[in-house]
Structure 1
Amino acid sequence: MNYGFLKVAAATPKIQVGNCMYNADEIIKLIKEANDQKVSMIVFPELSITGYTCEDLFLQDSLLDMAKKALLKIVKETEDMEMVSIVGLPLVFNGVLYNVAAVVCKGEILGFVPKSIIPNYSEFYESRHFTSGVDIYGYVDPGDPGDEQEAWFSTNMLFKCTSMPEFVFGVEICEDLWAPMSPSIRLALAGATVIANLSASNETTGKMDYRKKLVSMQSAKCLCGYIYANAGEGESTTDVVFPGHNLIAENGRIIAESKRFEKGMIVSYLDLQKIANERRRIKSFATKDQDKYTTIEFDIDVSNITGFDRKIDSMPFVPKSGKDRDDRCEEIITIQAMGLKKRMEHTNCKCAVVGISGGLDSTLALLATANAFDRLGLDRKNIIAVTMPGFGTTDRTYTNAVSLINSIGATFKEISIVDGVTQHFKDINHDLDNHDVTYENGQARYRTLLLMDLANKYNGLVIGTGDLSELALGWATYNGDHMSMYGVNGGIPKTLIRHLVRFYADTCDDKGLSDVLKDVLDTPVSPELLPPEDGKISQKTEDLVGPYELHDFFLYYALRFGFSPEKVYFLACHAFAKPNEVKGSEAYDKEVILKWLKVFYRRFFAQQFKRSCLPDGPKVGSVAVSPRGDLRMPSDAVAKEWLDRLEKIDI
């Protein structure tokens, strides 16, 4: 299976201006190199067969005739290759000269796409030689003696792969991208999932960043893969220099980029299944005008992935660079605080009640609450921070909870649940030595009862501490820690919570608070509902439900893009093949990944009833499980189809 991945390339040959046969040979070399790498589609720069900087040589019959012969040579020498090649050349059609892209596949010219927008400003004087191809169409004879093949000539053309329905591409040329109404917009709306751009964009100071933003944004707007091939070395430097700056983008993200002023090729995988799923999900992207486009079908072998080397981030919720992480953390804490601020203003509450366990989630909830109080101009003493030690509480978590509350400046309140829960177990005739689910959940519900009643007493709101990862797995006691009056952490996955707390520890300018936060980060994740062993935590969450870094990965790709279990497994195996030292993720064997992926799907389906009645809370990222927003899922849906697919995986 290829899981919707398509291997593509953008290439810049070293050319000689006006030497078409030499340029064709250089193009063929790169096509063969791409073919050896199992590339399915390669894009070359604008007018790559002749060179973009031929100027008035474009008016010479000799150049135009040789350009066609060079194209036919490329067609002939690549006829045994399972790939699409797109090259640029000048072409006369009905007595008019056009700047065109020739689409070549397996010994056939599938079509000629003329440039729509002809620049005529600053250093560009294309209208001296070329005419816009808008509304021009018909058949072109490529001119091979004895060959009666004709190729369609039009800007309104889509190319569709019969063996991979998601692979539909369109072509635009250089300035077409820079125009307010780019052809790629209409091509995408008509069904193109990939846009090829043959470009000759010269370099000036600051232009590289602008070009990257333009390509990135166009791929985002069009929900497409975008392959941008730029002219480079060999072009005339009479007045300008071309950088050979090639880019491959997908849905707003640059996934491959060449170094400037170097010839050669960049290669990457586009995830066309992701693109198709995004278009299906985002209803504002409405396909239209398909009937105005001629669809040219072709067939190449894209059945298998070989040498899959696309970087798959093991922690998709966590930004890569330190600066981006810091910015994201500050942004998220602000979103949490602003959400709570509005709720407190609306309810006219001057008090908040937070249960503090000494763990990550309650720590972040308290930090967000303090931030909201600062924005409201309220005294932090109006935050009633309650620690409720029970049968499983350890000295470490208790000490951290107390220190954290005091460092924040909240009102400290301690209520042991031991006597109350013991009496409750007597009331329901439950053996205190029977450490089953009743034993665990009884403690969680009793704690929630205390928090709710304290909120009534102080006219305050109970602030929820449960996070997105726990909600996805249902790792919460129904009507226990599952319930609150406002859940500030409900949109944040566990892997990101760690970085949020770390960010606060590094930026708070309070050594005492920083030390406490760092110790909280080093504490194993645990509900602490079972008695300690030798004073240490005996119940570690990740031993029971699996590593959160795996579950967050599964959650991201299963919910954000709707991928099949097989594809989620495939991606996870690549993402976790090696540890990510920057973000702190581990490496996992395929057997381990498959084991926990089955657990994820079982729990995700079985625990939907808890998510169906979640308290309010702010959405933070692109994945959320609120029944009022992102996840409208029946509580009694079954996981059989998903689990059956996983059972068929051969490790």
Structure 2
Amino acid sequence: MGHLITLATCSLNQWALDFQGNYERIIESIAIAKQRGAAMRVGPELEIPGYGCYDHFLEGDTVLHSWEVLAKILAGEDTMNILCDLGMPVVHKNVIYNCRIIVHNKQILLIRPKMWLANDGNYREMRYFTPWMKHRQWEDHFLPRIVQAVTKQTKVPFGDCVISTVDTCIGVELCEELFTPSSPHILMGLDGVEIFTNSSGSHHELRKLYTRVELIKEATLKLGGVYLYANQQGCDGDRLYYDGCAMIAMNGHIVAQGSQFSLNDVEVVTATIDIEDVRSHRTSRSRALQAATTEGYHRIEVPFALSGGKFGELGGERTPGLRLGLHDARFHKPEEEIALGPACWLWDYLRRSRTQGYFVPLSGGVDSCATAVIVYSMCRLVADAARRAEKQVIADARRIVGEPEDSGYIPSDPQEFCGRIFHTCYMGTENSSAETRKRAKDLALAIGSYHVDLNMDSVVTSVVDLFAFVTGAKPRFKAHGGTGAENLALQNIQARLRMVISYLFAQLLPWVRGGQGGLLVLGSANVDESLRGYLTKYDCSSADINPIGGISKTDLKKFIAYAEDAFDLPILRSFLDAIPTAELEPISETYVQADEVDMGMTYDELSVFGRLRKVEKCGPYSMFTKLVHEWGAILSPVEIAGKVKHFFFEHARNRHKMTTLTPAYHAESYSPDDNRFDLRPFLYQSRFPWQFRKIDQVAVALPDRSNLGPEKAKTD
């Protein structure tokens, strides 16, 4: 006879330091799990204070309020007849640990500290926490009095232990521990643990979900077992978007999967599994031999069973959840990820910042177009949620647009809602073309944004005239006989004035329309332009937040092509067909400014440079040697050397611009975001004399294979 167990995991949209809101979402998730007959509920990492507290974890208040929330949870009836896995920081012997608190029937069974901390890329967990290095060891933890008063416990086990119920054994794994070569689930599984929990704070990055899913499947494919993965979802107050996708896997297969992008604050995923399936999966002789010699874990024995009713000896009657069959994991295409991830991030930022909408300077180019379409995608998600009668989304939308709570307003039309919260503006000069002006206007009309069209020549002229009045010298464009310095200064003043005008309009447009409050200004510099430094410092790329700052130009074009059909926006084709241009220099019959010509490299090349520099950790010389192999069929070694040197020179001399980048949605593994993800100097010897000299010496000595063709070059 089988032993059916209904298990629940969840994605919660927690917010750093929002203890009240975080508490309410935790309680709601437990209630939903119990309604579905679950005997066990797992939540995301550090769900009580929020994962993104960062240096607030060093404050005693954060730990104190976390204990207060836990005490409140335990004081109610919520944890009765269900095993709950909760996350919060705990100070043990004056050391701060990232912990899971396992509770049942108003009792704390175990405090399990994290053993391997995430400490690279976007994560600095070792800045706040210390890893628990006493593997398979535990100590007594004396509880604070506010918790003792509720649980009547003085001390509880603290350390690397497992939970042994009447019918199974449960082990805890935290986020990064799944990604390590020697994951704890391996030894726990060999010691008889059948159910593993993993509470995560894992952010979205384009094409990343596949890796996460494969690791979760692999964790139980050879080992056997049930794996419950919970994750933070939403914007926790920073550049990251945590993309949920809570999952339950068994014996190497996904049996339940939640959404990766959602406007819902609470999403619970349940599945009913037969624990006997795990036991039959573990009959291999090799596995048995390894298990027989494995060092044991301390088991915390608790007198209840997860399998309820007639299938368990204890635990009372339960209505089992639906037993789900095996299925393939669902993945979004990168274009869909761009449509959904930044849109959900923008919605969280808008509703939690308590502002009245967004403002975007529309240039008529792909980047500002992509930013606007992402906002429109957000409006589509809001409209879809409103049509499903999602109460929280409707309430937030009413507050944002200034409608009373009892008004009956439903934001079910994305264009109508877009017109109320999204403001766009074309800021033309004498260097702007009629084509870009028309594209901006047509896009605004298609998505429904409130659009303003203006000429700012008089403002530019006033500033230039002021300079001429003070200095007696009037700068000219290169096309009119000016120097390079004059030409650049005249371009930059246009760009910087657009930033000033953007903030003026963002603050006053709601007032003009009879509303209150202000708008958030969105930036629209892509990751490649930032990497190359192809932007003016403090120009209209300087904004409040930037939804595309971590996305490559190549991916943005694919997104626009996808949205053309998916969002029924035929106007987007004209943006894809246009040559990218800043339109900051005079247009003539023989000259039209073009981004890739100005940069001296293509956007596709920039993506390659970016990945080699950041992901594969290449300096100038190692990048050159890799590209000689990859590009040798189309370019000579000397040509490749020139491109690599030009990239590093421009990246280095513009590196200071990264220190002032608008906070951007993190979506790309080679983001140059200086604030946390890409920690590098911002004053360089930008000519790299030693490195470049070595590149030149090797380049002239290598044979030129570019005339052989790709196939011949590979075999030669």
| TMscore range, shorter length | 0.3 to 0.5
* TM-score, normalised relative to structure 1: 0.47
Kindly name which structure, 1 or 2, has the bigger radius of gyration based on alpha carbons.
1
* TM-score, normalised relative to structure 2: 0.43
